[in-house]
Structure 1
């Protein structure tokens, strides 16, 4: 690539919201056709899609054109766009992206207290297939069981997964609650476990136990977030590889682009793609991780109907 991807516009960003890596490397790994980035965000542009007044952080704009350019560079054909809390439950930015996605995008919504069933059905028709629950204090107050039950009632019958965003020992503390949730549950970023206690601490054990239920899926994204070592994030990659080996049929991968609320500079997304080969080192598991599992979890058409364009 000759032009930087980062588009430095919009409001002054919060600490922890650096620009994306300006010139990600071209990955040596050529992903299989139909590969999916199951965790990325579209932010703004704020002159069209303003951030929510009640947001707890302010990122730089990262509009859909920027994301499409990144995916074309990386060789990624499909994506799941996760509604960011900086946009709140105003899903116009997500609906706009899905409408222009040509069937190659799915969405994850933030269902608020005032989100109606009619709005949820509109989101479903557009391609939303999950709702996100944030249990991180810097994003919002953790939802109560009553709030979760209210959301479950409003999405009933649509087949949406519940997507959980937790950190540290959160997945261990919430394990019983997760087991009681109906339908599929997706855990973001390997539960952002604290690797200070190693891969056999309480949180990683809970993560593996939940995978064993057959109803819980894990996004082996965020190796940069969980790593205590820095690039190439060997400890985070080792955790991801162990989860893929433990339950190869219930893991998916994502970039987490544009990497908001982080410490330091944003990771090189080209490097993150190259690390997939270490996370899923054999071709069968690589295809499951990148193509087959995302198609099943997020209700994409059969991968054979979606050849990836490669304009790298």
Structure 2
């Protein structure tokens, strides 16, 4: 089938108390080739580390754990996130949602300034998407075309764009196809 993973949500405004023990039990039962997407805010990353470390399948961090991109690429949120990425080589992340993470609005310069170095430093572990249909948006829904304009700003080379948009998603979601027909 087309299912490749499950998502655990720790966003405080959406859940009261996520049952980590039950989530771990589920993660331990996942079939080969599946992954766990984890959605959380940067202020609980340190608290989540033991839980994340215990998940025995690849991880995908939704929206990079919602860092404060106004802190810049060397701010505490990005340093903590890099520490997580450096802990395991099977942690992927979604470089998504400039509209949610950068209060300055388009063209989301703080987002680009903070995220572009991650794309360069972890090119084989980054995914991109628009977050369509933009769930839980209370205000203006972003223009997906303007979101697409962020791609060459965070992945400025053809090689980085190919990894972001093709190679890494293929490796994560269709690994058996990549094994049969390696990407060029």
Quote the residue 1:21 is aligned against. Answer: none
* CA distance, structure 2, for counterparts of residue 229 and residue 273 of structure 1: 17
Name the SS of the counterpart of 1:131 in structure 2: strand
Query: Is 1:289 the equivalent of 2:177?
Result: no
Quote the residue 2:155 is aligned against. Answer: 280
Q: CA deviation at 1:196?
A: 4.4
Quote the residue 1:217 is aligned against. Answer: 92
Query: Is 1:151 the equivalent of 2:26?
Result: yes
Quote the residue 1:254 is aligned against. Answer: 129
Contact residue 237 and residue 278 of structure 1 kept, 8 A: yes
Quote the residue 1:199 is aligned against. Answer: 73
**TM-score normalized with structure 2 length:** 0.87
Contact residue 211 and residue 250 of structure 1 kept, 8 A: no
CA change 1:167–1:268 in 2 (3 A) is same
Structure 1: 5+ residue stretches without partners: 1-125, 306-312
Quote the residue 1:165 is aligned against. Answer: 39
* CA distance, structure 1, for counterparts of residue 115 and residue 75 of structure 2: 15
Higher RCO, 1 vs 2 (CA within 8 Å, ≥6 residues apart): 1
Name the SS of the counterpart of 1:133 in structure 2: strand
Q: Deviations over 1:203-231 (max 9, x none)?
A: 21121112222121110011111102111
**TM-score normalized with structure 1 length:** 0.53
Q: How many residues align?
A: 177
* CA distance, structure 2, for counterparts of residue 279 and residue 264 of structure 1: 25
For 2:14, which of 124, 129, 139 is the aligned residue? 139
Larger Rg: 1
Quote the residue 1:238 is aligned against. Answer: 113
Quote the residue 2:49 is aligned against. Answer: 175
Contact residue 36 and residue 59 of structure 2 kept, 8 A: yes
Contact residue 223 and residue 240 of structure 1 kept, 8 A: no
Quote the residue 1:270 is aligned against. Answer: 145
Structure 2: 5+ residue stretches without partners: none
